[in-house]
Amino acid sequence: MVSEKDKMLNGELYDANFNHELIEERNSCKILCQRYNTLPYNSSDRLEVLKQIIPSISNSVTIEPSFWCDYGYNINIGDNFYSNHNLVILDAAPVRIGNNVFVAPNCGIYTAGHPIDIELRNKGLEYAKPITIGDNVWIGANCAILPGVTIGDNVTIGAGSVVNRDIPSNTVAVGNPCRVIKNI
């Protein structure tokens, strides 16, 4: 029998609300996020706690509190990453972020989604699709990056954008829905 976690990681519909394994993993991660968010700003423990949340990060990653994610282990962040305050990453599927990526305040990276079918949604089922963000990307304030999106290298995403489709490399994209307005 395929577990709910396997379904989640395979992009299939899964039940995250009543599955003990997924609930435990989220709770453990949320406790670490809460700890990270309440540490004194100048605490030498900040990076160590962040590495407990996201084991793959290097020493050149800065995430300003508050920061929340669901699992942590599905997040892979390259070197020279900076996120301003209030980053949320719903990482039920892999989130891959390249090198030299900068994220403004109040942004969300959401791999999780819910079915349009009312009966399935009311059963508590959801799905997750991976998100990839390339190298040298700037994401403006108050952006939402939705399930299954790939943002190429050397991209600027304008503030307030809702990124619901792939954005090619070497572009500036803005809006709701986000669309390319300029090649660079």
Is pLDDT of 1 > 90? no
Task: Indicate the pLDDT class of residue 139, thresholds 50, 70 and 90.
Answer: very high
Is pLDDT of 6 > 90? yes
Q: What element of type H or E holds 29? A: helix 20-38
Domains by residue range for the chain, with CATH = 4-183 (2.160.10.10)
Active-site option among 5, 114, 129, 179: 114
- CB of 20 closer than 8 Å to CB of 136: no
Percentage of the chain beyond pLDDT 70 is 100
Q: Chain-wide mean pLDDT for the chain?
A: 97
Closest listed residue to residue 89, CA positions, set 60, 67, 104: 67
Whole-number pLDDT of residue 145: 98
Whole-number pLDDT of residue 95: 98
Give the model confidence (pLDDT) of 159-181 as tens digits: 999 999 999 999 999 999 999 99
Rounded to two decimals, the pTM is 0.96
114 catalytic? Reply is yes
